[in-house]
Chain A
């Protein structure tokens, strides 16, 4: 049992890492009252950035370029949504569409029409001495890439910031009720910009985590993780720790799918992949406890008003 469980948990955490990074960013963004559907665009931009940076200057540079690429995509989203005050959802959808196209065009331009055989330097797993040898959970928690450790640290930091500091309270107030936050002397625009940019950086890092696992780029390789992250955020009830837990659930479902596919089970493996979405819908319906979106989420510049 244990020798099945340990690799399964390891795969779960590995699969969940890109998703959890992006979902953490989206949580911060939605807590500031902005829904960034363009997160998927930041992830795919991060993927291309990671490949470009890594191929040129090595894996650490890849991570940095990925974060910058995600930031750039989010900055474009921010200008349109926060400065020009256009509708968040339609803008986000368009940003994703544009990022798919732009990366699909830029990749063959940078690496030649083939490009597929590209082999870039990646970040290997770093085993934490002693702890990684723990039974069952050792490899899953202490034998991961540096980006996973970064995820753990950032999740903890975001939780502490949002729930244990005055500035975090202000941040959440912006998401719940912008006019009230303004009256309380909080600079709403600034918080919303920070939220949007965080989602971009973390989305980009999510893209980097993805690239560091597969070692190459392919068109639309983000495969909807930015959209899945929206579900993860909702399932995690708009908290950083909840998002991490929810991402692990989605990661576990995917890891389980691989096992069932390999094992030739009678149960359709698609059921496991679809299950987390159904759970999320159930949670949103209030069937599994209360989950409520920030009160001001996406309210500003709704399309029809």
Chain B
């Protein structure tokens, strides 16, 4: 699914809206009113679009890029959620330690902490995959739980806010908050980071030998090892760690740009939305920028749909699921057709 995958992706996006309309009708909701509320919540004005859709899209895009990178190499990293949370926890810890002493410059070590912690969360599964051939699906899911409980402990223990009432950390220093990109909105510099990472990943895949090796590894590991003389074990491990690092970055950005503190439910399943985003984009980094924004808009719209039209916001996960399922079925069909043709 290379650039040709764009057409089906656009079709899928339209399909999503159609599925949504059908689901709403089945649920006995006023379809027009609900869709209207959704559009208003996501894009009533450019300012609303920036403040809700793009802000919500930011962690989804960065995590989606993390998933795309791993999937491109044939690594099924289902642990983006835990890696994101790990990144958020490390970023909060470092940010609270730095305070406002270093000014805005302190943002750099905080983001680095997120990257490193995300990679650390991926390190165990990557090592188990390489040394013992353990399915990364099982291990990344387990690490998700370990991190979840770890954060639950942090926000009730060492990182709990000074009054010791709420299960969350203290707020990070004002100096460390990501600057607002567009005055009058909540759109923060994290969105710019997401764009930069997306473009960088695109150039990596298209223009560098390393990116080519990753694509070969994903397309055919045996050929990569034999014909390409690629050290597939080492390359897989490296890609896995970078995927974790990117997911960790998403967590750090979310803390510095939006939540400003660490708490239990910091991620409402970004790691899973990321899978939908990556697949819908055909694992294409620039595509992820678009599909991530699209799902960010759906999530912003769903919130307002719940508020104004009484439609449960969880409906969006049914949509995400139908997106993923349609794409994998379509892809499996393509592959079988290719196999028959060959």
| Interface residues in chain A, defined as those with a beta carbon under 8 Å from any beta carbon in chain B | 35, 37, 80, 84-87, 89-91, 93-95, 97-102, 104-105, 108-109, 113, 219, 224, 227-228, 230-231, 234, 268, 270-271, 273-274, 277-278, 280-281, 284-286, 293, 297-298, 301-305
Contact = CB atoms under 8 A, between A and B. Distances in A.
Contacts of A80: 325, 328-329
B131 interface: yes
Given A95-B321, A102-B318, A234 B138 contact: yes
A89 B78 contact: yes
B332 A285 contact: no
B11 interface: no
A251 to B, nearest CB: 15
Contact of B76 (A90, A98, A102, A297): A90
A6 to B, nearest CB: 27
A278 B78 contact: no
- Please give me the 6 A-B residue pairs with the lowest Cβ-Cβ distance, nearest first: A98-B321, A304-B74, A101-B317, A104-B314, A101-B318, A94-B324
B103 interface: no
Contacts of A91: 324-325, 328
B322 A98 contact: yes
Interface stretch (B143-151, B178-186, B250-258, B287-295): B143-151
Query: What is the size category of the interface that chain B forms with chain A?
Result: 35 or more
Nearest to A79: B329
A98 B23 CA distance: 12
A301 B329 CA distance: 11
6 contacts: A37-B78, A80-B325, A93-B324, A105-B27, A219-B314, A281-B139
B314 A280 contact: no
Contact of B150 (A89, A230, A231, A274): A274
A101 B27 contact: no
B145 A224 contact: yes
B128 A87 contact: no
Contacts of A90: 76, 275, 279, 324, 328
Contact of A113 (B272, B310, B324): B310
A284 B138 contact: yes
A206 B275 CA distance: 27
A264 to B, nearest CB: 13
A94 B321 contact: yes
B45 interface: no
B301 to A, nearest CB: 15
Nearest to A98: B321
B219 interface: yes
A93 B320 CA distance: 11
B328 to A, nearest CB: 4
Nearest to B158: A268
**A interface secondary structure, majority:** helix
A257 to B, nearest CB: 10
B234 interface: no
Contacts of B141: 37, 227, 230-231
B336 interface: yes
B73 A104 contact: no
Interface in B62-100: 71-74, 76, 78
Contacts of B206: none
Given A90-B76, A281-B124, A100 B138 contact: no
B76 A97 contact: no
Contacts of A37: 78, 137, 141
Contacts of A278: 146
A34 to B, nearest CB: 13
A35 B135 contact: yes
Nearest to B151: A270
B334 to A, nearest CB: 11
Nearest to B218: A304
A97 B279 CA distance: 15
B101 interface: no
A117 to B, nearest CB: 18
Given A37-B141, A90-B328, 10 more contacts: A80-B325, A85-B336, A98-B321, A105-B315, A231-B141, A270-B152, A270-B153, A281-B139, A281-B142, A284-B139
B325 A285 contact: no
B331 interface: yes
A293 B272 contact: no
A231 B333 contact: no
A86 B332 contact: yes
A298 B221 CA distance: 16
Nearest to B141: A227
A298 B137 contact: yes
B134 interface: yes
Interface in B103-155: 124, 128, 131-132, 134-135, 137-139, 141-146, 149-150, 152-153
Contact of B315 (A87, A94, A101, A230): A101
Interface string B300-342: 0000000000111011111111101100110111001000000
Nearest to B320: A97
Contacts of A109: 27-28
Contacts of B315: 101, 104-105
Nearest to A76: B325
Contacts of B145: 224, 227-228, 231, 274, 277
B86 to A, nearest CB: 13
